[in-house]
């Protein structure tokens, strides 16, 4: 089983009604840019927390 994709390489593919859509260049999944940015911010916050 492959590890989950972290969606680090993305490309803007469309903009509609003020919403940007991006595609992950690794797994080809499509996201609203806002959703992907919030997920990335959450991961960064988790990584910065002291153990």
Distances (CA, A) of 37 to 7, 30, 50, 51: 10, 13, 23, 24
- Range 28-51 average pLDDT: 70
Question: Is residue 51 very low, low, confident or very high in pLDDT (cuts 50, 70, 90)?
Answer: low
Question: Is residue 38 very low, low, confident or very high in pLDDT (cuts 50, 70, 90)?
Answer: low
pTM (global) more than 0.75: no
């Amino acid at each position: 089983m492959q590890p989950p994709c972290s969606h680090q390489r993305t490309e803007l593919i469309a903009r509609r009604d003020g919403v940007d859509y991006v595609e992950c260049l690794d797994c080809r999944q499509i996201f609203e840019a806002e959703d992907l940015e919030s997920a990335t911010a959450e991961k960064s916050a988790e990584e910065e927390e002291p153990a």
